[in-house]
Amino acid sequence: MPTRARRNLVGASRAELQALLAELDPRPFRAEQVYQWVARRMAASVGEMTNLPKALREALSEHAVVADPDVLEVRRGGDGTAKYALAFPDGAVVEAVAMPMEGHTTICLSSQTGCAVGCIFCVTGVLGAGRNLTGGEIFGQYRTILRSEGMVGAPVNVVFMGMGEPLLNLAGVSRAVELIAETVSPRRVTVSTSGIVPGIRKLAGLERRPKLAVSLNATTQEQRERLMPIAARWPLDELLAALRAFPLERGRRITFEYVMLAGINDSDDDARRLPRLLKGIPCKVNLIPLNPDQRYLGELEAPDEERISAFAGILASAHVNVTVRWSKGREVAAACGQLRGQIIARGPAQAGGGSPAP
Ligand code: SAH
Ligand code: SF4
């Protein structure tokens, strides 16, 4: 039977598995066993599901497969970062990254095959819109990294900071978060958004709510619109109001990401405005010096270290909890979309799929 006709078990919910197994073995514990193999033990095939009777495995194999994206390329940096280019059957290519930290590894996942938000400093944005990934395609990135890196069962954090805007794909992202929650507490999962206000409100209502990070990147509406065209649609004051209403358990905070661009958003005035904007929101600020990509972003630059430290100093003196992300993974082109950008640069054959040509 051709693979195409068979259902992919990666991404299926418990209810969907129950329906799929209805004619083979309708007892709920069977569906649960299959779910555990796919979502917890990261099985790569039905054949591995050794607590199912052989006859059931054979029957299930006629209806279903366990299929993850193909690994096109893995780039490793000296800091231990491993950046994966992953391809889906329609030819779409996305990135996922594993970054070793102290005591755990952070896994960064993509939510879309491109991004329509169009931030001028972001390779994914510059390459343009793509399609939404399904929950299974997002979860497949996670499974692939865990298995390839030998990390099934290891302590990990998950961040939705790869390609795409997660809150423009809430269906896919919520399903992925639900599946990831089998192995990682939602407290260790972060969704990063460019500020899609209706999406933030919906996320606030999720039962297993991940943590929220917001890419602020500017301190005035005008400046933000210049860097992130979508800011015109969901203005800064509306965004901040939605964040003030976002439910936070005790001790939890919203992370604000701030990509630092020399001469654009790195002035002392910006640093003084920022704490005033964030007043009343339990938060921390993560300053991200621009990760330059000459091919697309030639005219933008990261500020020098002195400027970044001075900016961070002003925030700290206003009692803002601030950290600087000093180029983790820069040598493997780890900023959003950069590896895929380079694959596209080598020729369209490897990066078609739902994304438009650059
Ligand atoms: N679309 C979501 C999540 C993916 S982008 C969002 O925008 O939040 C993840 C982070 O990478 C964002 O904070 C974004 O501002 C940052 N980023 C994008 N391009 C970058 C670059 N060239 N250098 C440094 N950070 C970048
Ligand atoms: Fe999209 Fe985020 Fe890149 Fe902006 S920074 S274009 S929202 S992926």
- Per-residue pLDDT reduced to its tens digit, 281-333: 999 999 999 988 766 567 899 999 999 999 999 999 999 999 998 765 555 54
Residues 217 and 258: beta-carbon distance below 8 Å: yes
Average pLDDT, the chain: 90
Tell me the ligand closest to 192's alpha carbon. 1
Q: Percent of the chain beyond pLDDT 70?
A: 89
The model's confidence at residue 337, banded by pLDDT at 50, 70 and 90, is low
> How far does residue 121's CA lie from ligand 2's centre (Å)?
9
For residue 193, the CA-to-ligand 2 centroid distance in Å is 8
Question: Is the CB–ligand 2 distance for residue 115 below 6 Å?
Answer: yes
pLDDT at 309: 95
215: CA distance to ligand 2 center in Å?
9
pLDDT for 1: 45
Answer whether residue 246 shows pLDDT above 80. yes
257 lines ligand 1 (CB under 6 A): yes
User: Which pTM does this prediction carry?
Assistant: 0.92
pLDDT at 160: 96
Checking if the pLDDT of 335 tops 80, the result is no
Q: Which atom of ligand 2 is nearest to the CA of 164?
A: 8
Q: Report CA(300)–ligand 2 centroid distance (Å).
A: 16
pLDDT number for residue 4: 47
Taking 90 as the threshold, does the pLDDT of residue 125 lie above it? Answer: no
Q: Is the CB of 164 under 6 A from ligand 2?
A: yes
Q: Is 168 in the pocket of ligand 2 (CB under 6 A)?
A: no
The Cα 212–Cα 192 span in angstroms is 6
38-42, 109-113, 313-317, 325-329: least confident range: 325-329
Average pLDDT over residues 95-118: 94
Residues annotated as catalytic are: 95, 336
Which of 119, 126, 190, 197 has most ligand 2 atoms within 8 Å of CB, for mutation?
A: 119
pLDDT score recorded for residue 171: 96
Q: What is the pLDDT of residue 293?
A: 77
243 lines ligand 1 (CB under 6 A): no
pLDDT score of 292: 81
